[in-house]
C-alpha cells in the first residue's frame, strides 16, 4: 500500500513537472519569437534589409517552436497550445513575406507598416497565451 502511494505521488509530481515545463518552455518560445519578429522589423526599418543568409536566423526559432509543439502534442486540446499554433503560423507568414519581398528585389520599406501590424498582432497573441498559461488553459 505504501509503495502504491509512493508511485502515485511520483506520477503526480512528474505530471506537475511536465506541466511546469510546458508553460516555461512555451514562455521562452514566446519571448524568442516576438523578439525575433521585432528584430526583423527593425532591420527592415533601418533600411538594411535581411540578406538570404540572415533569413536562417528568423526561420530557426520557428523550427524549434514547431518541434516543441510536436513534443507536447498531448496538450493539443489546451487553449494555449492552439493559440501558440496560430502564433507560429502568423510568424511563419511574416518571415515568408519579408523573404519573398527580399528575394524579388522589392523595396521593403513600403511594406513595413503591414509587417509592423503583424508584429503587434504577434505581441498581442503572445500576451493572451501567457494569460492562458497562468490560468492553466
Taking every pair of C-alpha atoms in the chain, what is the biggest distance, in angstroms? 71
Give the CA radius of gyration of the chain.
Answer: 19
pLDDT, the chain, mean:
87
Q: Does residue 80 or residue 108 have the better pLDDT?
A: 80
Quick check: 4 pLDDT over 50? no
Mark residue 49 as left, alpha or beta (left: phi above 0; alpha: psi -120 to 50; beta: remaining): left
Look at residue 14 in the predicted model and tell me its pLDDT.
42
Lowest mean pLDDT among 19-23, 51-55, 61-65: 19-23
What is the distance in angstroms between the CA of the first residue and the CA of the last residue of the chain? 34
Express each pLDDT in 9-43 by its tens digit.
Answer: 444 334 444 445 999 999 999 999 999 999 999 99
Look at residue 107 in the predicted model and tell me its pLDDT.
87
Q: What is the DSSP letter of 108?
A: S
Residue 115, C-alpha cell as written in the block: 509587417
Measured CA to CA in angstroms, residue 122 lies from 16, 66, 101 at distances of: 28, 16, 20
**Percent of residues, the chain, with pLDDT higher than 70:** 85
**Percent of residues, the chain, with pLDDT higher than 90:** 75
Amino acid at each position: 500500500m505504501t509503495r502504491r502511494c509512493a508511485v502515485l505521488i511520483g506520477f503526480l509530481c512528474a505530471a506537475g513537472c511536465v506541466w511546469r515545463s510546458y508553460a516555461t518552455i512555451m514562455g521562452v518560445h514566446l519571448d524568442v519569437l516576438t523578439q525575433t519578429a521585432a528584430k526583423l522589423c527593425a532591420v527592415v526599418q533601418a533600411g538594411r534589409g535581411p540578406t538570404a543568409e540572415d533569413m536562417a536566423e528568423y526561420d530557426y526559432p520557428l523550427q524549434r517552436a514547431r518541434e516543441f509543439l510536436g513534443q507536447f502534442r498531448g496538450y493539443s486540446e489546451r487553449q494555449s497550445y492552439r493559440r501558440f499554433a496560430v502564433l507560429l503560423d502568423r510568424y511563419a507568414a511574416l518571415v515568408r513575406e519579408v523573404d519573398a519581398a527580399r528575394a524579388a528585389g522589392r523595396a521593403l520599406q513600403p511594406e513595413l507598416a503591414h509587417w509592423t501590424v503583424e508584429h503587434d498582432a504577434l505581441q498581442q497573441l503572445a500576451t493572451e497565451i501567457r494569460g492562458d498559461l497562468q490560468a492553466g488553459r
